Amino acid sequence: MQEDRRPTVSDETVPINDDLDINYGVFRNGFTYRRGANSWRLWPMLEFVPPKLNTTIAEMYEAGVAWTLCEHVSIAINGRSDYTFTGPDGPITQVWTTGFHNVENGGGYLPAGEFTRQFQDDFTLCCVIQKFKRAPDVRYHFEVVTGPAALDRSALFVHYATGSRQRQTDFDVPAGQLIEPGPSEIAIIGRVR
């Protein structure tokens, strides 16, 4: 079934501040969600830097999928979704499962062209989302970590998207603090630029 609206069976929001929330969305099995080209215009755009370290995004970039870089985070934390992107020679499908994410270079990569996702096995995304009435002069920087990381500068928040600390958020984390996600944990680090 084709859906143009967000076909979730549940959404849970964790507030971060006046600008940001973290959303956990469980998508309907068997539904297809179409996202139009350049539909991310409400997200603050960052200067585009080609992805290199995030193999999920770099693989599609090398295959010819056009991307934008924005202040955004998407992490697959359950289930499966077939992402079908527009490539130079037609559709390219990539299967997203737990642990796949779109973050590198301080933001999240989002396709510039139209793409679809077909959801299976209770596919769930954890996303940092921006509120419509956010402060226009505040810019954010995001990282996703799965192993120990010492903060080189202070963080506005560290949010655990998976594992035993799922949905836990630590605020005002000082520079030098060691972030230590456990074996099944994925952490989002958010900073003011």
Is 30 domain-assigned? yes
Percent over 70 (pLDDT), the chain = 95
Is 160 domain-assigned? no
Average pLDDT for residues 177-186, to the nearest whole number? 94
pLDDT tens-place string over residues 59-102: 999 999 999 999 999 999 999 999 999 899 999 999 999 999 99
Residue 136 is predicted with a pLDDT of 81
Average pLDDT, the chain: 92
CATH number of the domain where residue 79 is located: 2.60.120
Total domain count, the chain: 1
Average pLDDT for residues 118-125, to the nearest whole number? 97
* Closest to 71 measured CA to CA, from 35, 98, 97, 47: 47
Kind plus residue range of the DSSP H or E element containing 60 = helix 55-62
What is the residue type of 56? T
Confidence of residue 36 (pLDDT cuts 50, 70, 90): confident
Is 51 domain-assigned? yes
Residue 131 is predicted with a pLDDT of 85
Higher pLDDT, 98 or 45: 98
Residue 1 is predicted with a pLDDT of 46
Is 187 domain-assigned? no
Is 103 domain-assigned? yes
| Full domain range(s) for residue 75 | 2-137
Q: Is the pLDDT of residue 173 over 50?
A: yes
d(C-alpha 87, C-alpha 69), whole Å: 17
Confidence of residue 5 (pLDDT cuts 50, 70, 90): low
- Do 151 and 180 contact (CB within 8 A), yes or no? no
d(C-alpha 112, C-alpha 37), whole Å: 6
Average pLDDT for residues 41-60, to the nearest whole number? 91
pLDDT tens-place string over residues 130-166: 888 888 889 999 999 999 999 999 999 999 999 999 9
